[in-house]
A and B are shown apart, each in its own frame.
Chain A
Amino acid sequence: MKLTFTFLFILGLIFQGCGKAQTEPEPESQNTLTGKIEIRDGWVREGKSGMMSAAYFTIYNGTTKSDTLWSISSEDISDDIQIHESYKTEDGLMGMRPVGAVPTPSGQSVELKPGGIHIMIIQPYRDLSDGDSIEFEFNFSSGDTLIMLPVQKNQ
């Protein structure tokens, strides 16, 4: 009886192990180092001149060192672009507060997304239309880099 139980237990473990190997392929490692900072899946919300817009993206730090995004600018569309975060206040309201910097640890992704941390584009000089591309300067601790982000329509 004891032998049968042990046999079934081991058999169960083997099947469980095999099942996992077949149904859950190893995800691509989050820690693959590409040797550079990448801005992925970026987009800018369509908007009218003089109003408000926002930009969203994922920062992937593929370097061996932690970095920090301090600010973003774009002479092309606005003299005032700020990093902000939407959050829920203690009394249940939705609020927004400035974010001084966005830390980007080595080998990790940081997502700036609607309803969370975002880039606020204050009173753009011109209309931001679906299909346009906007050049932004990203100011990291490691240096400045120019990135083009596409404007996407409000969906």
Chain B
Amino acid sequence: MKQLFYFLSLSLLIISCQSGPKVIDDLGDKSFQLINQDSVSVTFPDDYQGRFVVLGFIYTNCPDVCPLITQNMIKIQKELNNPDDIQFIGITFDPERDTPSVLSKYKETFKLGKNFDFLTGDPAVISEVMDSVRVRSQVSLTTTTDSGKEIYFMNHSDKIMVLDKKSRVIIEYGGSMPGIPNLIVEDFKTLR
């Protein structure tokens, strides 16, 4: 009886050690045709397989929360010393307005380097990408400027997630909160 107890305990220990982080969403068999800020076609997530991906969703007409999400991703990249094995990606909620040239300008504003891409694409494809990771957005508020131009804003999910080298989402946090970079940097200590 005692031997059986030890055997079962050891088995559970081995299983728990082998299981690794829980897979939240598996994008390994998904493939989305997108385009980056330099107008280069990208197949997501295929083109990034073999690297970890820190993924956030933003839109550039968002003046407050989306810059916080972007800044949190930048903090993670800096804290990890700009690692080559981690790709940072911001996908827009708003492909109608966030063209590659707009995303290029946004990237320039934050002075970001080569391992940081912003992706846009056909609205239907962007919608599929968002669905695949349970990200939502909706037009919420429209304002007209003094010059008569109509501008809309969006309600949206607030997330930063980490994909492993097989394109599986294994970590997901609130994107704009101040403590998130430290949590993800800590997570990477056990992931890599």
Given contacts A93-B136, A96-B141, contact A51 B153 (CB under 8 A): no
Interface centre among B64, B70, B71 (most CB of A within 10 A): B64
Smallest beta-carbon distance B181→chain A, Å: 12
- Residue contact A97 to B141, C-beta cutoff 8 Å: yes
Q: B141-158, CB under 8 A of A: which get 1 and which 0?
A: 101011101010101111
Q: B93-126, CB under 8 A of A: which get 1 and which 0?
A: 0000000001001101111000000000000000
B146 cross-chain contacts in A, Cβ below 8 A: 79-80
Count of chain B residues with a beta carbon within 8 Å of a chain A beta carbon: 35
- Residue contact B109 to A48, C-beta cutoff 8 Å: yes
Which of B61, B63, B65, B74 is close to A94, meaning CB atoms less than 8 Å apart?
A: B65
A92 cross-chain contacts in B, Cβ below 8 A: 157
Count of chain A residues with a beta carbon within 8 Å of a chain B beta carbon: 31
Classify the secondary structure of B's interface with A.
mixed
- Residue contact B109 to A46, C-beta cutoff 8 Å: yes
B111 cross-chain contacts in A, Cβ below 8 A: 153-154
A155 cross-chain contacts in B, Cβ below 8 A: 71
- Residue contact A118 to B63, C-beta cutoff 8 Å: yes
Would you call A82 an interface residue if the criterion is a C-beta within 8 Å of the partner chain's C-beta atoms?
yes
- Residue contact B71 to A115, C-beta cutoff 8 Å: no
CA distance A106 to B155 in the complex (A): 34
Which of A46, A96, A97, A115 is close to B68, meaning CB atoms less than 8 Å apart?
A: A115
A94 cross-chain contacts in B, Cβ below 8 A: 65, 155-158, 176
Which of A45, A48, A95 is close to B140, meaning CB atoms less than 8 Å apart?
A: A95
Which residues of A are at the interface with B, using a C-beta cutoff of 8 A?
45-48, 51-54, 79-80, 82, 84, 86, 89, 92-98, 114-115, 118, 120-123, 153-155
